[in-house]
Structure 1
Amino acid sequence: MKLAFLPIISATLLSCSLLSACSNELADKTASTVSLKQAYKNSFLIGTAIGNDQLMHPQAVTTKLIEKEFNAATPENDMKWERIHPLPGQYDFAAADKFVEFAQKNNIFMTGHTLLWHSQAPDWIFEDENGQAVSREVLLGRLKDHIDTVVGRYKGRVQSWDVVNEALNEDGTMRQSKWYKIIGEDMIEKAFEYAHAADPEAELNYNDYNLNNPQKRLGVLRIVKQLQDKGLRIDGVGMQGHYSLFHPDFKEVEDSIIAYAETGVKVMFTEVDISVLIFPEDAEAGADVNQNFALQEKLNPYSKGLSPEAEAALDQRYTDLFEIFLRHEKDISRVTFWGTDDGMTWRNNWPMVGRSDYPLLFDRQSKAKSAYYKILALKQ
């Protein structure tokens, strides 16, 4: 293979990005001199989700990787209602405090996740002592108390909040959650109002999956306009970015970036991962955590490792996605991966317990995969 026509770049990046054959020696050399956050420092923040195990029982290799590669972070589960506020009047801030302490120590931009979500929400929130649905006023009071307490505790430290998460159906209509059924149409407005009052300086975002979907996109645009028309603060739309080798059409992703940016808010990709696995026929693409299917071996083809063909496809998919990000970097404030390495991704067990997935840039030993070098090469 003749390479004389190629522009002169480092031997390391040539071998990684063009030949797709990085030796361990070259990979280690590159990894020691450059990082994602350094490469993209003039484009957008590069983030990761941090799980409870890492917060409460830190693994040195993971800590080192986060410190080196990322300048933004989100707690994977430990600020969700079931973890931080499991019982009436009872808050558990242990893991959330660890998250904030670690992020502050390492100058990492923090996003609190999440204040209002239909999932991972204890039943007591919506019920009285007899198990009956509470009134609108009672539920609004509980929501305000929760937001005042959680956001207030981290006021001035957590810079950004996913105020409302996944409030829409795929057709852009409001999800018929308990929140919506009890509070009604203005539940999103109230959540943003309370969050802004609790910390007037914090960035406030709406977050959801499948926001490339044109119908769902219209639903988000409606939410943004309603909040803006009411004079309420909304700073960004979080596109979760739970993608795969087969879905979605990235043109839809790009169209959504453009549409959301035109409203004047920032766009952020908040939970990026790219599955290499095929979904069951009846599964919905996206990130509905309630989906659960029996394990099928034919849908778990990489239990002993990723094939070269699948790895090459993953490389190309990540390259295509980041090329879009870079075309719109003026409108994108953050790209956060949902997990740090393949060993800790939720994709391994969703929507089938026991599956092995490889959706991130670092493998199960926290070593950079070839997709990592592909993304770095875009900034060289």
Structure 2
Amino acid sequence: MHKYLILFFLLMSCSSGDDTNELIIENDETEIVIQEPFKKIVFDNYNSDTFIFGATLNYYQLNTNVEQLFLDEFNYTTPENSFKQTIVHPEPGVWDWTRVDAFLDFASKNNIKMRVHGPIGPQSSTWAKEDSRNAEELSSLYQDYMKELCKKINNNSNVLWMDVVNETILSNGQWTDKKDGTNLWENPWTQIGKNADGIPLYIVKAFEIAKQYAPNISLVFNQHAGMQPEMWDKVKETILYLKSKGLKVDGLGWQGHLRDNVILSLNKEKIDYLLSIIDWAHQNDLDFHVTEIDYRLVGNNPSANAYLRQANGYSNILKALISRRGNGVVTYNTWGVYDKNDPSSHEFKYIYDSNLKPKKAVEILKNTLKDKNTSPVYFD
């Protein structure tokens, strides 16, 4: 039986691009397999200004072994929800910058590139979702929040990107909207109204504020869901409209929350459509960001084949970015690092298991990066 000894050693600080932190695996037949960290593979093989690879941390993972795993492997992060309105400015007179400051300090201390995920969109505070709110109240609150957030990050050299709006359009091409009550996924900001061209005012105003108060930050229009043409047509129309009005839109983001029982990243037609979106972004002077990606497995005790599908689901999206890296900026950010201790509620969806051990996805992603592989593996 093989015995494995895993040794981590750090020869240079993570602020150096020449980081030689390595994972060494020895077995009793004296075979040695060296797995370099993601950040070193990217540094050695790609232009670090135009190809960026990282992972998400949440506030409660700072100063833990999860943070250490992150620092061993990555140098780009997106704080999970710590910059959102519901955390920072949930209601009038209430401000809390604790999580924001913690992440800014973390990025500065460790020379981490950061994308701020603090967009105006459906994930808003209970106060904002209360049915008694009116347009004036909502407009005042989110504008105050956006202005202060932009001023907070504008001169921070570690913050390179910011999601300005998020999840604004449904998969059928309709605007996300208000719902009754406070316990549903909804977008209360649409109550502020639309302009004469039919564009929600909160979207226009958010980009106006970001342009004025965060001119040093690359501004992203972020979107969720899958490869639905009706939705992406509306996204494209909205971005072109904003740019035509002189507003600053620098990037298009996609949240790729994949599921093994929903056809997408293992299907040629879907990957081809994703490639067309990336091409459109670059043709319109936009960076393209995979702002969030995870791959949920269905059921308990996934098989080896399920983990193989997951690994290729992750890597097929990465291959799409690698194939288009010569046309413009592309970034890839896994939404989370490891499966939590209750796998039934987390669906085994991240690239490290609940013990922080690499899953098949880590191996295939690293090999994809090393080989600059652009040939997808299709199962669906």
- TM-score, length-scaled by structure 2: 0.77
Contact 1:266 1:332 in 2 (8 A): yes
In structure 1, give the amino acid aligned to 2:167: E
In structure 1, give the amino acid aligned to 2:141: R
Distance (whole Å) between structure 1 residues aligned to residue 347 and residue 129 of structure 2: 36
In structure 2, the partner of 1:40 is: 42
The answer to whether structure 1 residue 50 and structure 2 residue 57 are counterparts is: yes
The answer to whether structure 1 residue 333 and structure 2 residue 314 are counterparts is: no
Count of matched residue positions in the alignment of Structure 1 and Structure 2: 317
Contact 1:212 1:255 in 2 (8 A): no
Long gaps (5+) in structure 2: 1-22, 178-186, 195-199, 265-269, 372-380
Distance (whole Å) between structure 2 residues aligned to residue 126 and residue 134 of structure 1: 10
Report the identity percentage. Answer: 25
The answer to whether structure 1 residue 193 and structure 2 residue 208 are counterparts is: yes
Q: 1:184-237 CA deviation, whole Å, 9 max, x = no partner? A: 233211101101211211111111112522111101101110111001000111
In structure 2, the partner of 1:17 is: none
In structure 1, the partner of 2:121 is: 117
SS in 1 for 2:340: helix
The change in CA–CA distance for 1:262 and 1:310 in structure 2 (over 3 A counts) is same
> Which of the numbers 250, 272, 276 marks the counterpart of 2:297?
276
The change in CA–CA distance for 1:30 and 1:363 in structure 2 (over 3 A counts) is farther
Pairs within 5 Å for 1:94-173: 94-123=98-127, 125=128, 132-136=132-136, 138-157=137-156, 158-173=159-174
In structure 1, give the amino acid aligned to 2:132: Q
Q: 1:140-191 CA deviation, whole Å, 9 max, x = no partner? A: 3322211111221222113221110101011222222321122323321110
In structure 2, the partner of 1:225 is: 240
In structure 2, give the amino acid aligned to 1:257: I
Displacement, 1:344?
Answer: 7.7
SS in 1 for 2:289: strand
The change in CA–CA distance for 1:228 and 1:160 in structure 2 (over 3 A counts) is same
Larger mean CA deviation between 221-230 and 45-54 belongs to 45-54
The change in CA–CA distance for 1:318 and 1:171 in structure 2 (over 3 A counts) is same
Distance (whole Å) between structure 2 residues aligned to residue 332 and residue 217 of structure 1: 19
In structure 1, give the amino acid aligned to 2:345: R
SS in 2 for 1:257: helix
Pairs within 5 Å for 1:78-89: 78-89=82-93
In structure 2, the partner of 1:264 is: 285
Distance (whole Å) between structure 1 residues aligned to residue 204 and residue 90 of structure 2: 24
> Which of the numbers 340, 348, 367 marks the counterpart of 1:358?
348
SS in 1 for 2:294: strand
Contact 2:118 2:162 in 1 (8 A): yes
Distance (whole Å) between structure 1 residues aligned to residue 323 and residue 56 of structure 2: 25
Q: 1:75-124 CA deviation, whole Å, 9 max, x = no partner? A: 1111111111123121111111111111111111111112311223232x
The change in CA–CA distance for 1:78 and 1:216 in structure 2 (over 3 A counts) is same
SS in 2 for 1:30: strand
Distance (whole Å) between structure 2 residues aligned to residue 219 and residue 179 of structure 1: 18
Distance (whole Å) between structure 1 residues aligned to residue 26 and residue 321 of structure 2: 30
Contact 1:84 1:93 in 2 (8 A): yes
Contact 1:211 1:253 in 2 (8 A): no
The answer to whether structure 1 residue 182 and structure 2 residue 183 are counterparts is: no
SS in 1 for 2:34: helix
> Which of the numbers 234, 239, 249 marks the counterpart of 2:249?
234
Pairs within 5 Å for 1:3-14: none
In structure 2, give the amino acid aligned to 1:62: V
- RMSD of Structure 2 on Structure 1 (CA): 2.4
Q: Select the structure with the greater relative contact order (CA < 8 A; seq sep ≥ 6).
A: 1
Contact 1:164 1:205 in 2 (8 A): yes
The change in CA–CA distance for 1:134 and 1:367 in structure 2 (over 3 A counts) is same
Contact 1:166 1:207 in 2 (8 A): yes
> Which of the numbers 364, 367, 372 marks the counterpart of 1:374?
364
Long gaps (5+) in structure 1: 1-21, 278-299, 349-353
Q: 1:279-329 CA deviation, whole Å, 9 max, x = no partner? A: xxxxxxxxxxxxxxxxxxxxx322xxx321211222232332222221112
Displacement, 1:343?
Answer: 2.1
> Which of the numbers 239, 242, 247 marks the counterpart of 2:263?
247
In structure 1, give the amino acid aligned to 2:39: K
Contact 1:273 1:338 in 2 (8 A): yes
The change in CA–CA distance for 1:229 and 1:322 in structure 2 (over 3 A counts) is same
Distance (whole Å) between structure 1 residues aligned to residue 341 and residue 120 of structure 2: 25
Distance (whole Å) between structure 1 residues aligned to residue 132 and residue 311 of structure 2: 51
